[in-house]
Amino acid sequence: MIEHQRRIERIRSVEREYKAGCAAANLLAERLASDPSCGVREGWKNGDAQNYRDNLGPTFVIRLFAEFEAGLRDYWAGARSRRSKPPMRDLLDAISTERRIARDLLAQVHEVRELRNSYVHDREGSSADLDIAEVRSRVCRFLSRLPRER
């Protein structure tokens, strides 16, 4: 089991990786501008570079949410000794009720969950875009409401 603070650090590192990924995408775009066939020589097409850029946000939201979910499931199974494996929606509601989490924060985290689901299930238009800093902020605020493990 990973302590919440370490989990929050991991979530922050995922966000930093996303920023590194954005910088890499920019460098790649510059390289393609000066050498359009560089990808072909390395086994990929220019369209793959565009897809990489377009999918960065969703990919990292999914990763970040996976860390968040793992943190909550650790808490549920470890700290709270529960054997059930509720769906994420129910898990969020249950932990929020137990920890008396503000309704506004819970609604914000549910929105992140729906966003993540829309990416995983390839649903378009079902959720508004949130930038990764906002996603990180919401899930970290939620995790910080859990008690410390000792």
Partner 1 sequence: MSRQNFIHDLAWALSHLRISTRSKDPLGDPRWAENDEARAAFLLRDVRLKDYQPNDFVDLTEADQATLREAVWECRRSAQEALSGQPLGKERIEAWIEALRRIRDVVRKPILQEWSAAVEALVADAEGWSWKHGWSTKRESKEIDEAFLETYEVPKLLFHANGATLVVDPVARFAMGAEGVAELAVVPSYDHMVLPRTIDEGWRILSDESARVRTARLDPWNEGSFVQAVSYLKTLQ
Compare residues 40 and 102 and give the one whose CB is closer to partner 1. Answer: 102
Amino acid at 102: A
| Torsion angle, alpha carbons of 53, 69, 145, 15, to 10 | -20
Q: For the segment 109-128, give every residue that binds partner 1 (CB under 8 A).
A: 111, 128
Euclidean distance between CA atoms 4 and 144, whole angstroms: 7
Residue 87 in contact with partner 1, rule: CB under 8 A: no
Residue 96 in contact with partner 1, rule: CB under 8 A: yes
Residue 83 in contact with partner 1, rule: CB under 8 A: no
> What six digits make up the tokens of 1?
């089991």
Euclidean distance between CA atoms 148 and 138, whole angstroms: 19
Binding test (CB under 8 A) with partner 1, winner from 28, 56, 139, 146 = 146
CB 26, min distance to partner 1, A:
28
